Chains A and B, each alone.
Chain A
Amino acid sequence: MKGENEGQIRIIEAFLASLIIFSSLIVSANLTVTQNQPENNYLESNGLQALIKLDSDGTLGRYIDERNWTAIRDSLNLVLPAGTSFNLTIYNEKGQLIGVVSNGGLNSENLVSIEYFCASQSSIFHCYILHLKLTVAAS
């Protein structure tokens, strides 16, 4: 009688041991999933730094005053990392749309949005609100 139950007990013990290890693996996998954020943070940081760099000597504000969208697109293409797609929407201080600058389609994965406030250095003062959406182009 005792020998008949021994096999069943072995199976139960093996099952419990497997369950314990499998549970720990599932918990570990859930923790690593939440670590995909750093890539988005780098993209956001690059985008914000690109706008700051263009605005450091008033170039960005001047281009917007002149409505020179080509120059803005070319400048952003130079400053942003290769393979970055962007869409820049520009509003005046009253919230009216002034222009949109883009270098291609944005894919919905890893889309980052940045809001930037820009003032021009011209003697007639203008300020603008920029919404920059960035994503890494799909390979």
Chain B
Amino acid sequence: MRIVKRKNSGQLLIVAALAIAILISSTTAYVYEVSKGERNSQKQCSLNNYILAIKQTTRNTMISSLKNISNGGENTVLFNNLNTITEVLRNTYQFGTCNQNFTLLNNSNYNSGVWLSWNSNPGVSSTYANFTLKIYGVNLNAEVNYQVNVTTNLLAEGFYTPLENQEKFVNITCELYNEGEHALAKNITVYYENLGSWILVNNSNNLSIINYDNGTYSISFQANVSSSTVPVSLHVYDLREIFVQANITCNAS
């Protein structure tokens, strides 16, 4: 009885080829899936950067508005400027249609997003608004809520040392803040009141302003004031050229 042995080498060859093909394809598919996750995170990072850019632009707009308002402009400047950037944003399309709405803060201090308090201590110049940014794209929808507060505070305290003939030597320490952080001043002007008139302090009053480079300033001058107190008004521009004023009353040390 003859036994005929089947030759299966051809089938083995094809099966081996299939196995190699599956191995190559599965390895490539795995690498592709891993890199797809990395691409998605890069896209998210770009979107986050874009949102940061819009927030920065909004903040610059608030600074510009407060600079204008604190230097004599109308309070409506803030609303008008924010309206302008809202309209211009609608015409940009980096990731999709941008729609930003804003609400100006109104409370006991803020009126239409603006707070100016200059007849007190601390003096305050501030703007505050809430924003909702929506981005509609082909493959994404994003919504971000954020607030922008731009504030310049001036805090002062002082006293005087009596001299002869109603002359008084006045010492004042003031601190300037931007959004709660110490800030430097671009310009400081000092006035004192005598007999109902505000008088500019200059070199004839032996004016001295010491800058401690950390937002703290020491001011001293000599003035002839008939009253027992010396009202002083400090007019300061910070480095952003936002104006703030603080009024204090100096008593004898």
Contact = CB atoms under 8 A, between A and B. Distances in A.
Contacts of B253: none
Contact of B20 (A9, A21, A93, A117): A21
A24 interface: yes
A115 B14 contact: no
A119 to B, nearest CB: 4
Contacts of A20: 14, 17-18, 20-21
A13 B39 contact: no
B235 interface: no
Contact of A125 (B32, B54, B77): B77
Contact of A52 (B38, B49, B84, B89): B49
Main secondary structure of the interface of B (DSSP, over half): helix
B60 A35 contact: no
B49 A123 contact: no
Nearest to B88: A93
Contact of A21 (B17, B35, B60, B63): B17
B165 interface: no
A31 B28 contact: yes
Nearest to A23: B21
B237 to A, nearest CB: 11
How many interface residues does chain A have, given as a range?
A: 35 or more
Interface in A1-32: 9-10, 13-14, 16-18, 20-21, 23-25, 27-28, 31-32
B145 interface: no
A55 B28 CA distance: 42
18 contacts: A20-B18, A21-B17, A24-B21, A31-B29, A37-B39, A38-B39, A45-B45, A48-B53, A52-B52, A55-B57, A58-B60, A93-B84, A117-B85, A119-B58, A119-B61, A123-B71, A124-B68, A125-B65
Given A55-B53, A117-B92, A123-B67, 6 more contacts: A10-B10, A24-B21, A52-B53, A55-B56, A95-B91, A119-B64
Closest 4 CB pairs of A and B: A17-B17, A24-B21, A13-B10, A28-B28
Interface of B: 10-11, 13-14, 16-18, 20-22, 24-25, 27-29, 31-32, 35, 38-39, 42-43, 45-46, 49-50, 52-54, 56-58, 60-61, 63-65, 67-68, 71, 73, 77, 81, 84-85, 87-89, 91-94, 240-241
